[in-house]
Amino acid sequence: MIKSLGAKTLIYPAPVLVVGTYDKAGKPNVMTASWGGICCSQPPCVAVSLRKVTYSHASILEREAFTISIPSEKHVKEVDYFGLVSGRTMDKFAATKLTPVKSKLVDAPYVKEFPLVLECKLVHVAELGLHTQFVGEVIDAKADESIIGDGGAIDIKRLQPMLFTPDTQDYYGVGKYVGKVFSAGKGV
C-alpha cells in the first residue's frame, strides 16, 4: 500500500561530507553537509549545497574553492560537532584537536585525520532557494594509504564512510556487499 508523505527530499542514502574553507582572514573552517554528491564525470565535478546563513557559504564565494573530506565513522563525534556550531564564532579545529592542512592546489584547507579528500575549484553556482548549490571541479583526490585495497582502488570497508538518513536524521555505517555494477543485471 503506497502512502503520500508530502514534498520531501527523501533520497537514501545521503552522504556525510565535511566542507573545508578559509574565511576572509585566512582562518580554516569546516562544516558538515549531506546535500551533495557527484554531478559530472568529465570534467570531474561534485556538488554541495549550503544555506546562505552558513559561514562557509561566503567563504566559498570569496575564495572560489573548497575541499570535501569524507570522514570515517570513528570520527562521528567531531563530524557531528562540525554541523552543530558556526565557524563565525568557533574555531572548530581547535575545539576538536583535528589538524587543518592547506591544499597546495586550491585555496582551501582539509582535515588531516580524515582518510579521503577532494580538492575543488568552484565552477558553477545555482541559487535554488534556501540552499545555494556549489559545483566544484575536482583538481585532485587524496587518500590515506590505509583505505586503498589490493587492486589500488579505495576499499569502502576500510574507508568506513557514514550515511545520513534524511527522514530520521541518523548516521549509519556501510553494510554487506550486494553485487557488481554492470554485471548483476546480465541475467535478466
Site for a copy of itself in 83-112 (CB under 8 A): 83-84, 95-96
Count other C-beta atoms under 10 Å from residue 98's C-beta: 21
Q: What part of residues 52-71 is at the interface with a copy of itself (CB under 8 A)?
A: 68, 70
Smallest separation (angstroms) from a copy of itself to the CB of 74: 9
Task: Give the Cα separation of 26 and 87 in Å (integer).
Answer: 12
Q: Which is nearer to a copy of itself, 61 or 146 (CB)?
A: 146
Smallest separation (angstroms) from a copy of itself to the CB of 24: 25
Smallest separation (angstroms) from a copy of itself to the CB of 160: 9
Q: Which of 27, 62, 76, 113 binds a copy of itself (CB under 8 A)?
A: 76
Task: Give the Cα separation of 68 and 108 in Å (integer).
Answer: 10
Residue type, 114: F
Q: Which is nearer to a copy of itself, 40 or 58 (CB)?
A: 40
Q: What part of residues 135-174 is at the interface with a copy of itself (CB under 8 A)?
A: 135, 137-145, 148-149, 151, 153-156, 159, 161-174
Q: Output b/e per residue, 99-127; b: 16+ Cβ within 10 A.
A: ebbebeebbbbbbebbbbbbbbbbeeeee
Q: What part of residues 111-130 is at the interface with a copy of itself (CB under 8 A)?
A: 116, 118, 123-124, 126, 128-130
Q: Which stretch binds a copy of itself (CB under 8 A): 22-30, 40-48, 54-62?
A: 40-48
> Going by C-beta distance under 8 Å and a sequence separation of 6 or more, which residues neighbour residue 85?
92, 95
Distance from the first to the final alpha carbon of the chain: 26
